Amino acid sequence: MPDLIERSLETALTNCCRVGEISIRRIDGGGFIVSHCDDRGRDDLQRFQNPEEAAEIARYDDAGNYRPLKTVPNLCHGWRLELVDLTKLRRALDYFYPGRLAMFAAWKENRLTTTPLRKTLTRQSGMYRVASKISDEQINDLVGNFCRSNGGCLRTILWKRDESAAVPSTKLPSDKFDASHGQALSPRSATPATTAPVIPLLCQEACSLLVAECRKVVKMTNDE
- The answer to whether the CB of 31 falls within 8 A of the CB of 85 is yes
**What is the smallest separation between the CB atom of 159 and ligand SF4, expressed in angstroms?**
8
The DSSP secondary-structure symbol of 29 reads T
- Quick one: 41 or 68, whose CB is closer to ligand SF4? 68
| Angstrom distance (rounded) from CA 161 to CA 221 | 20
User: CA torsion sign, 215 to 153 to 111 to 51?
Assistant: negative
**What is the smallest separation between the CB atom of 66 and ligand SF4, expressed in angstroms?**
16
- Quick one: 55 or 69, whose CB is closer to ligand SF4? 69
**What is the smallest separation between the CB atom of 210 and ligand SF4, expressed in angstroms?**
4
- The answer to whether the CB of 176 falls within 8 A of the CB of 201 is no
**What is the smallest separation between the CB atom of 56 and ligand SF4, expressed in angstroms?**
22
**What is the smallest separation between the CB atom of 222 and ligand SF4, expressed in angstroms?**
23
| Angstrom distance (rounded) from CA 147 to CA 176 | 9
3-state secondary structure at position 219: helix
- Quick one: 76 or 209, whose CB is closer to ligand SF4? 209
* Residue/partner pairs of 54-63 with CB below 8 Å, 24 or more apart: 54/81, 54/91, 54/92, 54/93, 54/95, 54/96, 55/95, 57/81, 57/95, 57/96, 58/95, 58/96
- Quick one: 35 or 140, whose CB is closer to ligand SF4? 140
- Quick one: 51 or 152, whose CB is closer to ligand SF4? 152
Interface residues with ligand SF4 (CB under 6 A) are 71, 146-147, 153, 155, 157, 203, 206-207, 209-210
